[in-house]
């Protein structure tokens, strides 16, 4: 019986305390919203290559750096010193890459700005890419096989 009285007393005292409002410095624990991405794939050739042109079905090797729309880098083959290889049009990469690399020539450098529906969509690629994120890539075409 004593323990029941103690529980009731602690409960009453706990409920009677007032809760203060957070200070003006309070910030919710949510990620900062990202700037909106584009509504369609955007490509800008910084350097037009002079080598073989990449077509759907070709295997390509590229160096790339990927950033969110706010400029935060999330991946870079350059930082690893290891070019990335994939077959165009096979669906092994995000759609923005399958579409955005086609037409590049070896030696070319292209900026891709990719809407979320051609990137990682509503779910993103946690923990580095949030859902609905537009993406930017700097891509250099090294080889076409």
Q: Give catalytic residue positions.
A: 64, 74-75, 94, 120, 137
Kind and range of the H or E run holding 137:
strand 135-144
CB 64 within 8 A of CB 77: yes
b/e code 60-84 from CB counts within 10 Å (16+ = b) = bbbbbbbebbeeeeebebeeeeebb
Reading the block at residue 62, the tokens are 């590229």
């Amino acid at each position: 019986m004593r323990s029941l009285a103690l529980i009731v007393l602690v409960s009453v005292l706990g409920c009677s305390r007032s809760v203060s409002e957070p200070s003006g410095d309070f910030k919710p624990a949510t990620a900062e919203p990202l700037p909106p991405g584009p509504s369609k794939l955007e490509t800008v050739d910084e350097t037009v290559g002079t080598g073989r042109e990449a077509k759907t079905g070709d295997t390509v090797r590229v160096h790339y750096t990927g950033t969110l729309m706010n400029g935060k880098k999330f991946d870079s083959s350059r930082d690893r010193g290891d070019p990335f290889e994939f077959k165009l049009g096979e669906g092994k990469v995000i759609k923005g890459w399958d579409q955005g690399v086609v037409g590049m020539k070896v030696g070319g450098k292209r900026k891709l700005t990719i809407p979320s529906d051609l990137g990682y969509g509503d779910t993103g690629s946690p923990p580095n890419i949030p859902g609905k994120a537009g993406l930017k890539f700097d891509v250099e075409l090294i080889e076409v096989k």
